[in-house]
Amino acid sequence: MATKEVEYSDITHPSEKYHEKSHGESFLAIAQKQLRPNGVYIFDEPEAALSPQRQLTLLLEIYECMKNGSQFIIETHSPILLGMPGAELFTFDDGAIHTCKYEETDSYQVTEMFINDRERILKRLLQ
């Protein structure tokens, strides 16, 4: 995509120079430029290229768009993005799609367990 963006750029549409940025910074720049009110967006693991700090930035961008009428369908394992206020969370556990609470997600539970008992988890994992 970054290569095509350069190829399609011209004097009236200059390149955003995504190749000069990290993967995460490029993704975030594209999201910030393209997200608009009253849109419908589908994201597949948008956290993959983003640090936790940048995930918070993306969460803010998404939240602002949601307040202005946009809708999002996001497949994510990020406990940060899963924590979006007002989000309706679905899980595919046990072969059926159903809603769940934030604290019931595997991403939340594994992250909480690791943060609260890192030494024990690492000891068991690395033995």
Q: Would you kindly state where each structural domain of the chain is located, as residue ranges? A: 35-126
Q: Residue 69 is encoded by which pair of tokens?
A: 């009428």
Task: Please tell me the distance from the alpha carbon of residue 58 to that of residue 31, in angstroms, as a whole number.
Answer: 8
- The pLDDT of residue 77 is 95
- pLDDT class of 83 with cuts at 50, 70, 90: very high
From 17, 35, 13, select the one nearest 25 (Cα to Cα). 17
Task: Provide the whole-model pTM.
Answer: 0.85
Q: For the segment 66-82, what is each residue's pLDDT rounded down to a tens digit? A: 999 999 999 999 999 99
Which string of b and e fits 34-67 if b means at least 16 CB within 10 Å? ebeeeeebeeeebbeebeeebbeebbeebbebbe
79 touches 108 (CB < 8 A): yes
Q: How far apart are CA 97 and CA 126, in angstroms?
A: 34
Q: What is the mean pLDDT of the chain?
A: 91
Report residue 91's pLDDT band, with 50, 70 and 90 as the boundaries.
very high
Supply the DSSP symbol for 85: T
